[in-house]
Structure 1
Amino acid sequence: MKQRIEARIAGSDAAPPVGTAVTLIRPAQSDEFREALRLSFVPANGDRTRAMALSETVLAHARAMQHDVSRQWVALRNGRLVTACTYLETPGRLATLMIPGRFVADAGPSAAGEMLNAAAGVAAQRGNRLIQCLLTLEDASEVRSVLAASGYVMLARLLHMERSIQGAPPEAAPAADGLRWRTFDSTTAPLFREVIHSSYEGSLDCPKLSSVRSVDDAIESHRSAGYFKPHRWLLIEVEGQPAACALFNETPLRAGLELVYMGVAPLFRGRGLGARVLARGLALAHREGFSVVDVAVDESNRPAIDLYCRLGFRAGVLREAWARILSDHAEG
C-alpha cells in the first residue's frame, strides 16, 4: 500500500490526515543555496553528477551577467531536502523558473504544484508579465501534467542550432541596390522597434509569445540575453523602410555569439533579406574572433530552420518552452 503524500506550506496550521507523509514547502534558507541550486537541475534520469555540473554552469553564468538566483523554494520530507526550484528575473518583465526533471517524482504532484504557484505569485507581485520554464523533452515528459494544472501552457518546442565560425570566413551575400545597413543607436532604435513589431505578423516563431508581450518588453529581454553591443544589432532598410533585422549578443563564458532574434517585415518577405542579414552577422562573428554562433528556433518554423541549415547551422538539443501568463494582454 502506497503512503499518501501531502503538500504543506510552511506556517500553515492545518494538520495532515493520519498516515500522511508531509512534504513541507518553504523558501530556501541561505545555507541551503548550493544544495537547492543543485536539486533544481536533477534530470529525469536522476543523474546527480550532471545536476552538479549544470548548477555550477548556471551559477557562473548568473555571476557573469549579475543575475540574482538566490530566490528558491525547497520541498522537505522528514526534515530532508528532496527537491527545489530556482527563480530568476531578467529585464523585459520576464521571470524564469528552473525546475528539475524529477520535480514531480521527488516532491509529489501537490507539492510541485504549490511550488509552481508560489513562484508565479512572486513573479506577478514583482510586476512580471510572464514566467517561463525551459525543459529537455525527457524532463518535460515528467512534469507536463503539473505544469498544465498550474496554469502553464507550452509555447513552443525550441531547437538549438549551432554554426561553427572557425576557418574560412562565411560567404557574404552579393551586394544589392536599394539596401541600407544600419546598427542600433538612439536614432535607429525606432526603426528596430518598428521592424521587430511588424515581423510578429504571420510569424512562425513562437507566435503565442507575441500576443502576450509588448515589443518594448521583448527588446529589453533581447538586450539582456548575453552581452549587448549596439554594433552587433543589424538592420536592413529597403527604400527607406525598415525591412529585416538580426540581433546578436555575446554569450557569457564562451567565445560565441547568440542570435537572440531575427525577423523580416511581411512586406519584404521572400526577397532573401533574412539570408543577407544572417550572413552579415556570421561575417561579423568571424571578424571579431568568435568561434560559434547559436540560435534557438521554434521547431515548427521550417522556413527559418531551412535557412539556418543552408548557412551551415547544425541541429542540437530540442527543448520545450512552457509559460504562465501573469497579465491579460500585451501592449503594442
Structure 2
Amino acid sequence: MYSFGELRPDERRAGLHLLLGGIDDPDRNETIEAGLETMLAAPHDHLLIGARSGERLSAVVWGTRSGDDSLLVGDPGLASGLVDADEAVAGIAKCLADAADRLGLVLVQVMLGPQRIDLAPCFLSAGWERATRLEYLAARIGPENEPIDRREVDSASDWRWVDADSLAPGALQRLVAATHEDSQDCPFLEGRRSPAELLATYARSSESGTALWRVLLDDDEPVGCVLAGLQGGGTQIEWIYFGVARNRRGMGLGDRLAEHGFAQARSIGVGMIVLGLDESNEPARRLYARWGFRVWDRRLVLLRWRERPSSPLL
C-alpha cells in the first residue's frame, strides 16, 4: 500500500536522489545540492510529489512552474527493484492533478522520455490526455549554416529586423496568433492558451527573458519571429518559439528566420542552438534539417488541462 503527497523538506534530498537514478557519485551529489538550492530559492516554483511505502520513497516526480498557471514535469524517478511501479505512478498522477487544482494551475505537462514511456498508461488511467510527441533538436554553429549575403536581394525591399520589445503594445501577440493559424506545431494548444499566456511562459523559460526576441518586419508589418533565449549558463541558445504568419508561408521566410537566428548566435558567441518540435510538423522538420539540426531526444507529452475563463485564445 502506498501513501501519496508532496515531499516534506527532510525528504527532498532522497527524492532528488531517486530522480537521478539512485546512484551515489560526486557529480550526482553536486546536482542534488544544486537542486535543493534551487528549491530553497524559489519554493513556490517547484513541486515534488512522491509515493511512499511506509517511510520509504518508491517513486517521485518533480514539477517546475513554466508560467504563472502552468507546470512542467519530467520523468518519474523509481526506486530500484520496484515491482508495482504502475500502481505507484498512477497514484502520483492523481496526486499531481489534485495538487495542480489546489494551486490553481491550468496546464500541467508531463514529458516522458524513451526510458519511461511505458508509464504513460498510468497517467491516462488517471484522466490525463495524450497530447503529442516532441523531438528535441540541436545544431552546432558551423560552415553549413553560414549566413547568406542578402544585401542585393534586400536592397529594394522593406525587410528589417527589430527587437520584439520595440513593437507597439499587442503587436507581438497578434503576430503569434497569426503564426498559429493552421499550424502543425503543437495543435493540442489550440483553443487553450492565449498569445499573452504563451508569451509569458516563453519569457520565463530562459535565462535572458525577452532580450533575444527578434521580429521580422515587411514594410512595418510583423511577418515572423525568432524568440530565442540563453540556456545552460549562457552556453547555448534555445529557439523557444519560431513562426511565420500564415499569409506569408511558402515565401522562404522560414530560411530567412533561421539565417537570422544563426547570425544572432554567432554574434553572442555560443556554439549551439537547441529547440523542441512537434514530430508531426513535417515542414518545420525539413527546414531545420536544411540548417543542420539533428534529433537528440524525444518525449511523449501527457497533458492535464483545467478549463477556466481566459483572454482570447489561439
- Structure 2 CA distance, aligned partners of 1:236 and 1:48? 48
Residue 132 (structure 1) aligned with residue 109 (structure 2): yes
Residue 304 (structure 1) aligned with residue 284 (structure 2): yes
Residue of structure 2 in register with 1:162 after alignment = 138
Contact 2:59 2:88 in 1 (8 A): no
Q: CA deviation digits over 1:208-264, x for unaligned, max 9? A: 113211211110111111123544111112233221111000003351000000111
- Structure 1 CA distance, aligned partners of 2:29 and 2:186? 26
Residue 26 (structure 1) aligned with residue 5 (structure 2): yes
Residue of structure 2 in register with 1:38 after alignment = 17
Residue of structure 2 in register with 1:18 after alignment = none
- Structure 1 CA distance, aligned partners of 2:266 and 2:225? 19
Residue of structure 2 in register with 1:226 after alignment = 206
Residue of structure 2 in register with 1:19 after alignment = none
Tell me the secondary structure at the aligned position of residue 157 of structure 1.
strand
Contact 2:18 2:77 in 1 (8 A): no
Sequence identity, in percent?
22
Residue 117 (structure 1) aligned with residue 94 (structure 2): yes
Tell me the secondary structure at the aligned position of residue 260 of structure 1.
strand
Q: CA deviation digits over 1:7-37, x for unaligned, max 9? A: xxxxxxxxxxxxxxx2222321211111112
Q: TM-score, normalised by structure 1?
A: 0.81
Shift in alpha-carbon separation, 1:107–1:326, aligned structure 2, 3 A: farther
Where does structure 1 lack aligned partners over 5 or more consecutive residues?
1-21
Q: Number of residues paired by the alignment? A: 305
How far did 1:94 drift?
A: 1.0
Residue of structure 2 in register with 1:150 after alignment = 126
How far did 1:76 drift?
A: 1.9
Residue of structure 1 in register with 2:230 after alignment = 250
Which range moves more in the overlay, 216-225 or 76-85?
Answer: 76-85
Tell me the amino acid that sits aligned with residue 112 of structure 1. Answer: V
Shift in alpha-carbon separation, 1:277–1:70, aligned structure 2, 3 A: closer
- Structure 2 CA distance, aligned partners of 1:54 and 1:239? 54
Give the ranges of 4+ consecutive aligned residues of structure 1 lying more than 6 Å apart after TM superposition: none
Matches within 5 A, 1:198-213: 198-213=178-193
Contact 1:41 1:54 in 2 (8 A): no
Shift in alpha-carbon separation, 1:276–1:231, aligned structure 2, 3 A: farther
Residue of structure 2 in register with 1:71 after alignment = 47
How far did 1:170 drift?
A: 2.2
- Structure 1 CA distance, aligned partners of 2:114 and 2:95? 24
Matches within 5 A, 1:71-110: 71-100=47-76, 102=78, 108-110=85-87
Contact 1:74 1:84 in 2 (8 A): yes
- Structure 2 CA distance, aligned partners of 1:106 and 1:136? 20
Q: TM-score, normalised by structure 2?
A: 0.86
**RMSD of equivalent CA atoms:** 3.0
Q: CA deviation digits over 1:131-150, x for unaligned, max 9? A: 1111112311x211111112
Where does structure 2 lack aligned partners over 5 or more consecutive residues?
none
How far did 1:62 drift?
A: 8.0
Out of 214, 221, 224, the position equivalent to 1:241 is 221
How far did 1:117 drift?
A: 2.0
Shift in alpha-carbon separation, 1:166–1:326, aligned structure 2, 3 A: same
Shift in alpha-carbon separation, 1:92–1:79, aligned structure 2, 3 A: closer
Residue of structure 2 in register with 1:314 after alignment = 294
Shift in alpha-carbon separation, 1:188–1:30, aligned structure 2, 3 A: same
Tell me the secondary structure at the aligned position of residue 185 of structure 1.
helix
Tell me the secondary structure at the aligned position of residue 172 of structure 2.
helix
How far did 1:71 drift?
A: 3.1
- Structure 2 CA distance, aligned partners of 1:180 and 1:123? 43
How far did 1:102 drift?
A: 4.1
Contact 1:211 1:330 in 2 (8 A): no
How far did 1:120 drift?
A: 1.8
Contact 2:161 2:215 in 1 (8 A): yes
